[in-house]
Amino acid sequence: MSCTMQLDLVDVFGAGPLSGNPLAVVRGGDALDAGQMLALTRWLGFSETTFLLPPTDHRADYALRIFYPAGELPFAGHPTLGSAAAWLATGATPATPGLVVQECGAGLIDVRLSDDAMAFRAPPLRRSGPLDDADLAEAIRVAGVDRRDVIAGVHGDNGPGWRLLHLASAEAVLAAVPVSGAPVPTDIGLVGAWPHGHDRQFEVRAFFADANGRIAEDPVTGSLNAAVAQYLVAAGRAAAPGYAAGQGQCIGADGRIGVTIDPDGAIWIGGRTRIIARGAALVL
């Protein structure tokens, strides 16, 4: 089968040009099946590739399928913001001014628009609460952190099944040296606070196992930052109006994530999106 589609490349969460997490967005791939979507995702080599589709829910502006090299995800953060930017760049307008509604495996996700950034509303966690002893030990081993630096270990499953380690400092986060391989799926996040007066309040890192079980580090991760924010609020370590986080320093990225906490408790994960290339012909 020959199928001609459009491919967009988007840089998400970057503090400057080409400093965030790259995303491939495919438009016109309605005829592709899941196997073809996964094969293209693996070939492109980004942490995620998304496929913009017509919505099936009348409340949504579009539907989205999200793939990473090991399979399909019900939700992911930087793909949500990058895909919303790509959809808007086609000239489409949301049904509700200032608010894009995305349909995906996790349900309907709101994306709030502003002049210089956009933000998605953190979806409810599918699993939360403390890690058991075995999960905690495995997360510490895979992430390569010192057990003495671990303040808490919790589940933060919002699509990816994040196991989150809260460390004693941002320096401890940056010092982590993960192992080279782990079972698929493995999704481990780290968070630690910077001292008062820093230009951001927290540092975050994300490790995941690729399709071959190799541990990779994600440049900037919206889903993890959403889970981190929900944990920090619940633990009394973050409150309205929010905070700024950084991610990606250890692999040459410079991610900036803005977390907004509304008075009603809603948490929004935001950052800049930049369309790097738009409308490239893609033929399969």
| pLDDT tens profile 246-271 | 999 999 999 999 999 999 999 999 99
Q: Note the pLDDT of residue 283.
A: 87
Q: In CATH terms, are 4-122+271-283 and 133-256 the same topology?
A: yes
Residue 116 binned pLDDT confidence (cut-offs 50, 70, 90): confident
**Distance (Å, whole) CA 119 – CA 80:** 9
Q: Note the pLDDT of residue 2.
A: 60
Q: Note the pLDDT of residue 134.
A: 98
Mean pLDDT for the chain?
Answer: 96
Q: Is a pLDDT exceeding 80 seen at residue 75?
A: yes
Q: Note the pLDDT of residue 211.
A: 87
What are the pLDDT digits (tens) for 21-39?
A: 999 999 999 999 999 999 9
**Distance (Å, whole) CA 181 – CA 209:** 7
State which amino acid sits at residue 203. E
Q: Is a pLDDT exceeding 70 seen at residue 1?
A: no
Does the structural domain 4-122+271-283 have CATH classification 3.10.310.10?
yes
What are the pLDDT digits (tens) for 16-25?
A: 999 999 999 9
The CA-atom distances, in angstroms, between 37 and each of 54, 108, 160 are: 16, 21, 18
SS3 8: strand
Q: Which two tokens stand for residue 181?
A: 């391989």
Q: Note the pLDDT of residue 115.
A: 81
Q: Which CATH superfamily is domain 133-256 in?
A: Diaminopimelate Epimerase; Chain A, domain 1 (3.10.310.10)
Q: Which two tokens stand for residue 238?
A: 């973050």
Predicted TM-score (pTM) above 0.85: yes
Q: Note the pLDDT of residue 4.
A: 78
- State how beta strands 215-217 and 255-261 pair: unpaired
What angle in degrees, to the nearest 10, is found between the helix axes of 77-89 and 222-234? Answer: 130
What are the pLDDT digits (tens) for 190-217?
A: 999 999 999 999 999 999 998 899 999 9
- State how beta strands 21-27 and 49-53 pair: parallel
Q: Where are the domains of the chain?
A: 4-122+271-283, 133-256
